[in-house]
Homo-oligomer: A and B are copies of this chain.
């Protein structure tokens, strides 16, 4: 999402973006660190608080807008992308952020999400994926792993989960990224990129719910695991990871992305990440490396391509119509049909 607000003369601080409402998440919830990351990033963007609108659905994560000293709507379950679409179309001058959860965005709100993505409405979408329904106290979500035992699945869930990155790519998203609640710097870098992107920017955030799904990402996000379990994507660079960058990603002869030992294949054979490729297949291939956060998982920007924004095109048609027909004249409009007078 682009910086299109007026730059502010005074320097802004985190405080300028923090509301006076007490934060109501469980102690230890991953939501806190996302909030911090966003509040710390905001002043850097050089846009005054009044030019942001945070729109959320319903869920623990969706309380987020209350804590931002910006404009905000805590809407209804799953519908945030539609409200955000209305705001963005009405006011291309604003910066619209959508805050949503794995239930909010992918269960009840799945349709609005995929349509916002294909339309490329200018909004930054942060999906707090804790693989659980937090607010309703612990049912499995569309990202929960198969067999998960929860209140609503005492014998294990049967629903094959979505891979949010794959889904977004299948829905023609122009910007797709993933980050996690354990690394504020990484979050900020990704959020900033998302904000700068013209169009809908989709960011999946792995977020720990320490009350109902504690440790869901432990296998990849513990300090100790991160080097060998997180595959950081950098545009234009060969994809490498591991404590000593000893591992990498390469395409095998079938064209599938696979994990390799760099020593075995040679650095040349590594896949060079390309965010800007028109064809989303590469990004899709990377998204399939990890269906669940238990194996090496790519984080960072999967895809970032340019496409006209929806509201930009709306605006273009309005301007063109005015140029063609002149500004609307009600009398003329009504009188455009045959008119007769009775006196």
Contact = CB atoms under 8 A, between A and B. Distances in A.
Nearest to A282: B255
- Most central of A108, A159, A255, A321 by chain B CB within 10 Å: A255
A114 B166 CA distance: 12
Number of copies: 2
B159 A166 contact: no
Q: Chain A contact residues (Cβ within 8 angstroms of B): what range?
A: 35 or more
Contact of A170 (B120, B167, B271, B321): B167
A118 B114 CA distance: 15
Nearest to A307: B160
A167 to B, nearest CB: 5
A160 B172 contact: yes
A274 B252 CA distance: 15
Interface in A238-264: 251, 254-257
A163 interface: yes
Interface string A285-317: 100100000000000000000010010011001
A25 interface: no
Contacts of A162: 114, 118, 171-172
Given A110-B114, A251-B255, A160 B120 contact: yes
Nearest to A108: B111
- Smallest CB-CB A-B distances: 10 pairs: A170-B170, A111-B111, A110-B111, A158-B313, A281-B285, A167-B170, A166-B170, A256-B279, A251-B255, A284-B284
Interface of A: 107-111, 114-115, 118-120, 142, 155-156, 158-163, 166-172, 251, 254-257, 271, 274, 277, 279-282, 284-285, 288, 307, 310, 313-314, 317, 320-321
